[in-house]
Amino acid sequence: MCGIIGIVSDKGNLKERIIEGLKRLEYRGYDSAGVALRKENGIFVRKKKGKVSQLEEELREVEVNSRVGIGHTRWATHGEPSDPNSHPHSDCTGRIALVHNGIIENYPQLKEELRRRGHNFRSQTDSEVIAHLVEEEASRDDFLEAVRRAVNRLEGSFALVIINSDEDALYIARKDSPLVVGLGEGESFVASDIPAFLPWTNRVIFLENGEIGRLSFSGVEIYDFQGKRKEKKPQVIGWSLAQAEKGGYRHFMLKEIHEQAKAISDTIGPRIERDTNSAVIEDLPLAPRHIKDVLILACGTSYHAGLVGKFYFEELAGLKTDVDYASEFRYRRPVLSPSTLVVAISQSGETADTIGALRKAKEMGAPSLAICNVVGSSITREADSVLYTHAGPEISVASTKAFTTQLSLLYLLAVYLGRERGKIDREQESGLLSQLLSLPSKIEHMLREQEEKIREIGVDLSSYNDALYLGRHLNYPIALEGALKLKEISYIHAEGYPAGEMKHGPIALIDENLPTVFIATESKVLDKVRSNMEEIKSRRGKIISLLSGEHPEIEELSDGVIKVPLVDEYLFPIINIIPLQLIAYYAADFLGHDVDQPRNLAKSVTVE
State the nearest-atom distance from the C-beta of 131 to ligand G6P, in Å.
Answer: 29
| Helix (DSSP H) and strand (DSSP E) numbers for the chain | 17, 27
Q: Which residues of 83-108 are buried (b: 16+ CB within 10 A; e: fewer)?
A: ebbbbbbbbbeebbbbbbbbbbeebe
Binding status of residue 300 toward ligand G6P by CB under 6 A: yes
Indicate the residue whose CB is closest to ligand G6P: 300
Beta bridge partners of 213: 172, 222
The single residue of 2, 111, 310, 487 carrying the catalytic annotation is 2
Contact window for ligand G6P (CB under 6 A) among 1-9, 51-59, 251-259, 596-604: 596-604
Q: 254, 257, 397, 583: which one contacts ligand G6P (CB under 6 A)?
A: 397
- How many residues make contact with ligand G6P (CB under 6 A)? 16
92 classed as catalytic? no
Contact window for ligand G6P (CB under 6 A) among 298-306, 332-340, 510-518, 584-592: 298-306
2 classed as catalytic? yes
Three-state DSSP state, 224: strand
Binding status of residue 299 toward ligand G6P by CB under 6 A: yes
Near ligand G6P in 345-384, by CB under 6 A: 346-348, 351, 354
DSSP state of 88: P
- CB closer to ligand G6P, 439 vs 484: 484
Contact window for ligand G6P (CB under 6 A) among 61-69, 206-214, 344-352, 451-459: 344-352
Binding status of residue 597 toward ligand G6P by CB under 6 A: no
Three-state DSSP state, 447: helix
Phi, psi of 433, deg, nearest 5 = -75, -30
- CB closer to ligand G6P, 344 vs 529: 344
Binding status of residue 101 toward ligand G6P by CB under 6 A: no
Strand order in the sheet with 516-520: 493-498, 466-471, 516-520, 543-547, 560-563
Binding status of residue 327 toward ligand G6P by CB under 6 A: no
Q: Are 278 and 427 in contact (CB under 8 A)?
A: no
- CB closer to ligand G6P, 205 vs 397: 397
The single residue of 23, 487, 563, 603 carrying the catalytic annotation is 603
Cα 380 to Cα 69, 86, 130, 409: the distances in Å are 30, 31, 29, 16
State the nearest-atom distance from the C-beta of 301 to ligand G6P, in Å.
Answer: 3
Binding status of residue 192 toward ligand G6P by CB under 6 A: no
Amino acid at 407: L
Cα 95 to Cα 65, 106, 128, 444: the distances in Å are 17, 24, 14, 55
Half-sphere exposure of 47 (CA within 13 A, CB side): 30
State the nearest-atom distance from the C-beta of 374 to ligand G6P, in Å.
Answer: 8
Alpha-carbon Rg for the chain in angstroms: 25
Residues 136-175, mask of contacts with ligand G6P (x by CB under 6 A): ----------------------------------------
Binding status of residue 73 toward ligand G6P by CB under 6 A: no
Q: 45, 281, 447, 601: which one contacts ligand G6P (CB under 6 A)?
A: 601
Q: Which residues of 258-274 are buried (b: 16+ CB within 10 A; e: fewer)?
A: bbbbbbbbbbbeebbee
Q: Which residues bind ligand G6P (CB under 6 A)?
A: 299-302, 346-348, 351, 354, 397-399, 601, 603-605
Catalytic residues: 2, 603
